[in-house]
Amino acid sequence: MAKALIVIDVQNDFCPGGALAVPEGDLIVSGINARIADFDVVVLTQDWHPAGHSSFASSHAGKAPYDMINLPYGPQVLWPDHCVQGSTGSAFHKDLNMTRPDLVIRKGMNPAIDSYSAFFENDQTTPTGLEGYLRSRGIQALTMVGLATDFCVNFSAVDAATLGFNVTVDQTLCRAIDLNGSLAAARDGMTAAGVTLT
């Protein structure tokens, strides 16, 4: 069974010192690099927002980071400004292997819709094209690693399992934001969707 490693959002803004730092986010980089050789295809995702994106608290008067709002497609956590296209924060961690990966999928470019998942924007309907890419490469099994376990890794893993891929999340190569119990909820949701957590 052909398999792909999907490396989610290992970017400066999600590492210590970044705008939306995930604790220990940088500690997974060498372990991810070490696993790359085990896969037929390697895909990186890159959170890639225009300035003024609707997921930024700064785009909503009177709102602070980590407040919730309702957008047309559902509830949305508001974040600090992060991963603005072309900024240092949007760049991949400097030690991530950038030689081997086959494809970089950018997401979150629509100013009105956030995009946690590597497969669909948060409206759950607009595709990124990753499904078609993986199927045309003959990939059936995915291992997901990266940042953050409870947001982009979680949404990507659940969507992939729903699409029929055989999905494993290697939690040792992920780190979480863990906002109001989001990590436990994400683990439950991934397990319910048929994702294997290791």
Active site residue 94: no
- From CA 166, how far away is CA 107, in angstroms rounded? 22
Shortest Å, Cβ 116 to ligand VGL: 6
Active site residue 152: yes
CA-wise closest residue to 188 among 197, 180, 179:
197
| DSSP string covering 11-45 | BGGGSTTSTTPPTTGGGGHHHHHHHGGG-SEEEEE
Site map for ligand VGL, 31-50, x if CB under 6 A?
----------------x---
Contact between 139 and ligand VGL by CB under 6 A: the answer reads: no
Nearer to ligand VGL, 9 or 131 (CB): 9
Backbone angles phi, psi at 50, to 5 degrees: -70, 155
Contact between 186 and ligand VGL by CB under 6 A: the answer reads: no
> 132: how many CB neighbours lie within 10 A of its CB?
10
Tell me if 14 sits within 8 A of 25, measured CB to CB: yes
| Options 7, 148, 161, 167; binder of ligand VGL; rule CB under 6 A | 148
| Catalytic choice (152, 159, 170, 174) | 152
Contact between 79 and ligand VGL by CB under 6 A: the answer reads: yes
Shortest Å, Cβ 70 to ligand VGL: 17
Nearer to Zn ion, 52 or 138 (CB): 52
> 176: how many CB neighbours lie within 10 A of its CB?
22
Active site members: 9, 107, 152
